[in-house]
Chain A
Amino acid sequence: MKDFAHVNATSFDEAAALLAKDNAAVIAGGTDIIYSMKGMNTPNLPDTLVNIKTIADADYIKEEGGFIKIGALAKLTAIAKSSVVKSKATALAEAAELVASPELRNMGTIGGNICQKPRCIYYRNEFNNFPCARKVKGGTCYAITGVHRYHSIFGGVGGCMAVCPSDTAVALVALKAKIVTTKKTWEAADFFKVPNKEFGTARGEQINALDLDEIVKEIQVPVTSAKSTYKKWAFRKAIDFPQVSVAVVKDGNSAEIALGGVYNEPKAFSGVNCADPAKAGDECLAKATGMNTPRADGQADRYSNTYKIQIAKVMVKRAIGSL
């Protein structure tokens, strides 16, 4: 485990100031960041962890001014169980409920969930054994010629084929949520643009566009009459990241759709005509290519991920059909 200092913050501003000063990162539930610190999987790890769990009253869930407002420190379990989220932002409650396992949901916060690091099998390898493009300047992407079974089907961003691992991110994009930070208020779709220009640095490893000294304070989900749902497909039924997931927010025959596990960021489709759910599925996946490189000896690509295209089409169809 990398050696690090641990500082308790009492306010978001204090925490942000600490981040600006040092090579530091915040720690919320710690379910993701401690994993990296232990494995020393990247050279860009922080020297200081600023604990934001000590900030008071930052785990609220309330309805206010046409929004469901959720403090960054709200636990995934609380979101999954919240009656207001379940009834008015169903997709988000369902996404939170499908994250990992009860233990991880009891520790993990929504802030941490939308700021977790990529889950690429090469990126996570201990001791930076695979110093890929995301972690070091001039690095290569090992997944392209290696194992890409779990990777993007819509091409890469900045040469990286990793997918957005967060369940809640997908729901937030489809629900057109806002993310309030210590610096500004983001539209969810902009928030999850990966900073590919900065690949090879700590910021470039993020799954979102936050500055290194910027902290998520609150999530705001607009309350509308539209119905929503989140469906997830993973190899296992628990403790598994989405290989394909879909959030649908349906208003009449028009839907906001976001796909997870298929691209570097939640893949958003706006105003999709969902009168025919199967057609909507085909439409969302029309541009997906997958990664499929038959071997030199003519054998099939063992790591091809084109299966995700088929599964995603069906999931869009079924998600719409369920509403």
Chain B
Amino acid sequence: MITLDDSVKLSDYKVLRNPAIHDQSIMKILTGKADFAADHFAGHKYFGAIKCSTIAHGEVVSVDASEAMKLPGVKAVITADDCPVWNKTITWYGQDVAGVVADNWYTAIRALPLIKVTYKEAAASVDPDYAIQEGAPLTGILPNSNIGTAGVCFRDAKTDKRSTSAANNVFDPSTFNECDVIKEYTFGWTTTYPHNELEAHQTTAWWVGDDVYYYTGCQDITSNKSTVANALGMALNKVHAVTHFNCGGFGGKTSDILAPQACIMSKKVGGYPVLCKNSRQMNVLNRGHNFPTRSRIKFGVKKDGNNYKFHACDAEFWSDGGVNSFSPVGNVFFGLQKTYIIPNISLVAYRIQTNTPTRGYWRCVNDPCGAMNYDSAIDKLAYDLGVDPYDLRLNNLGNQSLPDQDVPTMYWGSFPIKEELELAAQKSGYKTKHKMAPKSQTVDDIYHNGDKRWYGIAITGHEDSHGSSSGSGRGGIVKAQTDGTFLVTTASARGCSGGTTVCTNVVAETLGAKPEDVKLGEWGNTDVGLNAGIQAGSSHTISISSAFYNAAIEMRYKIFQVALTKAPFKGVATSVDDLYAEDSVVYLKKDKSVSATFKSLNWGNNIAASGQGWTVGAAGTVDEVGRRNGGAWRSVGNYIKPGQAVYTYGSAAAATEVAVDEETGQVEILHIWNVVDTGTTMFKNGALKEIGCGAEAFHNQAFFYNTVYDPNTGAVISTNYTEAMFPTYMDMKTENHDLIDYESFDAGGPFGCHGIAEPCVTNYSSVLCAIYNAIGVWVDPQMAQMSADRVLKALGKA
């Protein structure tokens, strides 16, 4: 039992909130010293490439590899018979059907077309609208249909009933009769985009006896290792998995990332190392894409002075999950459900299955497509009611003093959405700039021909379910070194310097060590580190840093125990509670002149401590000083009492100014202000960079990045950066982004940090709403972007 006084006053932070980076991963990447999966066995390995299906639905009847095997340099061909993670039933164009091992990658690629695959083709449904029509071919994903209910939320104020179960619809549609105004809106398919902007997936695998070793780029090496062990029928301790740097691992998250394939290929060639990697096209064909969503949203409101109150909302959201029957489309309406007080509600999310590659979310649990729909609906409603959308939002926000509307026993640890919206409004000068009537303001005429560009501004924001994913399995180890320094280790990959710096800083802060005395050990090695859990953005940062926080508390206890046995503390201090540490020096609390440096304590190298992270976002009870599980800060006040269970979620608001050239449909972002609740900003530079990434990602997704599907085959044909429209600096001038970390001091994780970046999805809808404010029409992205062609279509000019 830890008896130390581990309370932390924010004003006492020495290391946290410090701008310096203490993890040099970024320098390793920039100087070419980072070891990516492909870097192992340079020049001494075979290469594997994957052949993808060219039908969307059917069976593989035969694979004839004889011609491929004749190509000089080809060593082996594998099929579904060798690779248990593959299936002879094809459900999308681009599915893995065979693999080649050759003595160089280009030979492996050249051999792919020589493998002759015979298919028995079945009718496919590749378009989500057609897939749900009667008589549409079944995709083979669900037993009898191409559509299923993925998530619901029902509330009825009169009976005070609520339910998140499809079987228990407590919503009473007659509540709309109590409303002063009812409006219903529909939105077409939102944008689609891939989840793998970075380089293609790759794994290097080799065998030593019965043990298989592999390096891969992966966001969840622990579950990846289990996948490999299961696929190969091996014990976990025979599988040695390492992920040092993510890169290609993004977009696959927990999926196989070519690891089973590489291991099987290596076995086929006598255990020699094989680097199996995807070309960009193969990567795009068979890896994750974002799901698009369309919706119908009906609002009923009651008059409230000069404003209105939401009274009822009945909405349906349809999302295309491709072949992924677990596609997380069930909470597309999370922000609507949680941000606003809506007494009567019926929210239903459907998942449509199509014969197209797997679709998940990117970058957010609270999917941008959902946010785009309901934020647009709120703005549309406000304009129809003659109320400023910003005022309508503020008048209907939930707040921190209220329990959760669906689970009234739970409170929100933090709910600063009002403050964030107000900050976005203040920073952007919204109230002086916003005009209710579209086309009421112009901005600089860049073409000098009297052609006008219309000006628009909008603010959106919401509570975000990001940060709610489980992190309780994540573990960290702190090991004391003989020289008085510490190494921190986990099986998680070093995705970026931000997360790792947060971890080293948390350890330094908790131990009272100098930041430079806490170094990264080997991260990402499952033989050395503890379970990493999924490295999913900043929720990972929170729970992995909480693991290190817990490990550091234990380490502090252990080194203080050593101190008690040594001069100058021996005989002077009797308990670890008599000591404290600062800047790598241990002091006697009651007499600061009695001290010893960590180094001088000479503690040997046998001291290690480990800790587990806690679940972020789920219930956690608050103790009497407002901390949960030893470190999460809470404001204990009249509504959150000691022992109260609280949720911890992120939130954000965005204000966007646009200029729209009505003649060409060209939209220019003039400025974006992103305000994101960080809880405590533990590492300022990292937090702002992370918010910046989110801001750019959603600016990007609004206008550029797009997965293009061939409507006849379902094949992804945007297979390179040009066709996928990856934007450049010229398109997104980062100096036009204002990034604001809003500290609520009231969040999950050690020292109270929050999930950030992903909540910036709100940019996406603020852009769309700002375009409306400029030109008075809503742009339908039609599964692409809010690009000029879509704007012209909306204006009836194309």
**CB < 8 Å: which of B54, B664, B727 contacts A314?**
B664
Which of A128, A145, A237, A300 has the most CB atoms of chain B within a 10 A radius of its CB? A237
Complex Cα distance, B54 from A101, in Å, reads 33
The residue of chain B having its C-beta at the shortest distance from the C-beta of A233 within the complex is B664
Q: Is the pair B448, A1 in contact by a Cβ cutoff of 8 Å?
A: no
A2 at the interface (CB under 8 A from B): yes
- B448: chain A residues at CB < 8 Å are 321-322
- B793: chain A residues at CB < 8 Å are 300, 304, 307
Complex Cα distance, B791 from A310, in Å, reads 12
**CB < 8 Å: which of B112, B129, B731, B797 contacts A127?**
B112
Known: A40-B113, A302-B783. A318 touches B449 (CB 8 A): yes
Complex Cα distance, B789 from A233, in Å, reads 11
Q: Is the pair B728, A239 in contact by a Cβ cutoff of 8 Å?
A: yes
The residue of chain B having its C-beta at the shortest distance from the C-beta of A322 within the complex is B448
**CB < 8 Å: which of A126, A142, A290 contacts B719?**
A126
Q: Is the pair B722, A241 in contact by a Cβ cutoff of 8 Å?
A: yes
Q: Is the pair B731, A306 in contact by a Cβ cutoff of 8 Å?
A: no
The 3 closest A-B pairs by CB, nearest first: A307-B789, A307-B798, A237-B730
Q: Is the pair A129, B54 in contact by a Cβ cutoff of 8 Å?
A: yes
A222 at the interface (CB under 8 A from B): no
A–B Cβ pairs within 8 angstroms, 9 of them: A127-B112, A127-B113, A128-B113, A146-B712, A238-B728, A307-B792, A307-B798, A311-B664, A314-B451
B595 at the interface (CB under 8 A from A): no
Q: Is the pair B704, A121 in contact by a Cβ cutoff of 8 Å?
A: no
A88 at the interface (CB under 8 A from B): no
Complex Cα distance, B54 from A235, in Å, reads 29
Which of A129, A238, A240 has the most CB atoms of chain B within a 10 A radius of its CB? A129
- B281: chain A residues at CB < 8 Å are 39, 125-127
- A126: chain B residues at CB < 8 Å are 279, 281, 719
The residue of chain A having its C-beta at the shortest distance from the C-beta of B704 within the complex is A236
- A311: chain B residues at CB < 8 Å are 664-665, 788, 792
**CB < 8 Å: which of B451, B665, B711, B725 contacts A236?**
B725
Q: Is the pair A304, B798 in contact by a Cβ cutoff of 8 Å?
A: yes
B-binding residues in A (CB < 8 A): 1-3, 39-40, 101, 119, 121-122, 124-130, 142, 145-147, 149, 233, 235-241, 277, 290, 297, 299-300, 302-307, 309-311, 314-315, 317-318, 321-322
Q: Is the pair A310, B663 in contact by a Cβ cutoff of 8 Å?
A: yes
Q: Is the pair A306, B798 in contact by a Cβ cutoff of 8 Å?
A: yes
The residue of chain A having its C-beta at the shortest distance from the C-beta of B729 within the complex is A238
Q: Is the pair B710, A146 in contact by a Cβ cutoff of 8 Å?
A: yes
Range, interface on chain B: 35 or more
- A300: chain B residues at CB < 8 Å are 782, 793
Name B688-718 residues within 8 Å CB distance of A: 704, 708, 710-712, 715, 717-718
The residue of chain B having its C-beta at the shortest distance from the C-beta of A321 within the complex is B449
Q: Nearest-CB distance from B695 to chain A (Å)?
A: 18
- B798: chain A residues at CB < 8 Å are 290, 304, 306-307, 309-310
- A2: chain B residues at CB < 8 Å are 110
- A3: chain B residues at CB < 8 Å are 106, 110
Q: Is the pair A121, B112 in contact by a Cβ cutoff of 8 Å?
A: no
Which of B704, B708, B784 has the most CB atoms of chain A within a 10 A radius of its CB? B708
B734 at the interface (CB under 8 A from A): no
Q: Is the pair A121, B789 in contact by a Cβ cutoff of 8 Å?
A: no
Q: Nearest-CB distance from B441 to chain A (Å)?
A: 21
Which of A124, A126, A303 has the most CB atoms of chain B within a 10 A radius of its CB? A126
A-binding residues in B (CB < 8 A): 54, 106, 109-110, 112-113, 129-130, 133, 279, 281, 447-449, 451, 663-666, 704, 708, 710-712, 715, 717-723, 725, 727-731, 782-785, 787-789, 792-793, 797-798
**CB < 8 Å: which of B113, B129, B664, B718 contacts A297?**
B129
Q: Is the pair A129, B664 in contact by a Cβ cutoff of 8 Å?
A: no
Q: Is the pair B792, A147 in contact by a Cβ cutoff of 8 Å?
A: no
Complex Cα distance, B708 from A199, in Å, reads 26
- B784: chain A residues at CB < 8 Å are 149, 302
- A146: chain B residues at CB < 8 Å are 710-712
Q: Nearest-CB distance from B791 to chain A (Å)?
A: 9
Complex Cα distance, B721 from A101, in Å, reads 13
- A238: chain B residues at CB < 8 Å are 728-731
Contacts across chains A and B counted by CB atoms under 8 Å:
124
Known: A125-B719, A237-B731, A310-B792. A147 touches B797 (CB 8 A): no
- A297: chain B residues at CB < 8 Å are 129-130, 133
Complex Cα distance, B551 from A14, in Å, reads 72
Q: Nearest-CB distance from B787 to chain A (Å)?
A: 6
Q: Is the pair B782, A302 in contact by a Cβ cutoff of 8 Å?
A: yes
Q: Is the pair B665, A307 in contact by a Cβ cutoff of 8 Å?
A: yes
Complex Cα distance, B726 from A237, in Å, reads 11
- A303: chain B residues at CB < 8 Å are 711
Q: Nearest-CB distance from B554 to chain A (Å)?
A: 52
- A290: chain B residues at CB < 8 Å are 798
Q: Is the pair A129, B715 in contact by a Cβ cutoff of 8 Å?
A: yes
Q: Nearest-CB distance from A41 to chain B (Å)?
A: 10
- A240: chain B residues at CB < 8 Å are 722, 725
The residue of chain A having its C-beta at the shortest distance from the C-beta of B130 within the complex is A297
The residue of chain A having its C-beta at the shortest distance from the C-beta of B127 within the complex is A295
- A306: chain B residues at CB < 8 Å are 798
Q: Is the pair B728, A1 in contact by a Cβ cutoff of 8 Å?
A: no
**CB < 8 Å: which of A145, A304, A322 contacts B712?**
A145
Q: Nearest-CB distance from B733 to chain A (Å)?
A: 10
Q: Is the pair B712, A318 in contact by a Cβ cutoff of 8 Å?
A: no
Complex Cα distance, B726 from A101, in Å, reads 13
Q: Is the pair B449, A317 in contact by a Cβ cutoff of 8 Å?
A: yes
The residue of chain A having its C-beta at the shortest distance from the C-beta of B717 within the complex is A121
Complex Cα distance, B781 from A302, in Å, reads 9
The residue of chain A having its C-beta at the shortest distance from the C-beta of B718 within the complex is A121
Q: Is the pair B787, A235 in contact by a Cβ cutoff of 8 Å?
A: yes
Known: A236-B728, A238-B730, A321-B448. A299 touches B723 (CB 8 A): no
Q: Is the pair B728, A237 in contact by a Cβ cutoff of 8 Å?
A: yes
Q: Nearest-CB distance from A316 to chain B (Å)?
A: 12
Q: Is the pair A147, B711 in contact by a Cβ cutoff of 8 Å?
A: yes
- B787: chain A residues at CB < 8 Å are 235
Known: A129-B715, A307-B665, A307-B792. A1 touches B106 (CB 8 A): yes
Complex Cα distance, B789 from A1, in Å, reads 35
Complex Cα distance, B364 from A270, in Å, reads 53
Complex Cα distance, B654 from A39, in Å, reads 41
Which of B106, B112, B729, B798 has the most CB atoms of chain A within a 10 A radius of its CB? B798
Complex Cα distance, B118 from A256, in Å, reads 54
Q: Is the pair A1, B109 in contact by a Cβ cutoff of 8 Å?
A: yes
Complex Cα distance, B126 from A145, in Å, reads 14
Known: A121-B708, A302-B782. A147 touches B717 (CB 8 A): yes
- A277: chain B residues at CB < 8 Å are 449
Complex Cα distance, B788 from A311, in Å, reads 9
Q: Is the pair A147, B130 in contact by a Cβ cutoff of 8 Å?
A: no
Known: A307-B798, A310-B663, A321-B449. A149 touches B728 (CB 8 A): no
The residue of chain A having its C-beta at the shortest distance from the C-beta of B711 within the complex is A146
The residue of chain B having its C-beta at the shortest distance from the C-beta of A309 within the complex is B798
**CB < 8 Å: which of B133, B704, B710, B720 contacts A235?**
B704
- B110: chain A residues at CB < 8 Å are 1-3, 40
**CB < 8 Å: which of A101, A122, A307, A321 contacts B788?**
A307
Q: Is the pair B727, A236 in contact by a Cβ cutoff of 8 Å?
A: yes
Q: Nearest-CB distance from A200 to chain B (Å)?
A: 18
Q: Nearest-CB distance from B103 to chain A (Å)?
A: 13
Contacts A145-B712, A310-B664 given; 8 further ones with Cβ under 8 A? A127-B113, A149-B784, A235-B785, A235-B787, A297-B133, A304-B798, A318-B447, A322-B448
- B731: chain A residues at CB < 8 Å are 236-238
Complex Cα distance, B450 from A277, in Å, reads 13
The residue of chain B having its C-beta at the shortest distance from the C-beta of A306 within the complex is B798
Complex Cα distance, B721 from A221, in Å, reads 34
- B279: chain A residues at CB < 8 Å are 126
- A241: chain B residues at CB < 8 Å are 722
Q: Nearest-CB distance from B287 to chain A (Å)?
A: 15
Q: Is the pair B451, A318 in contact by a Cβ cutoff of 8 Å?
A: yes
Complex Cα distance, B711 from A233, in Å, reads 26
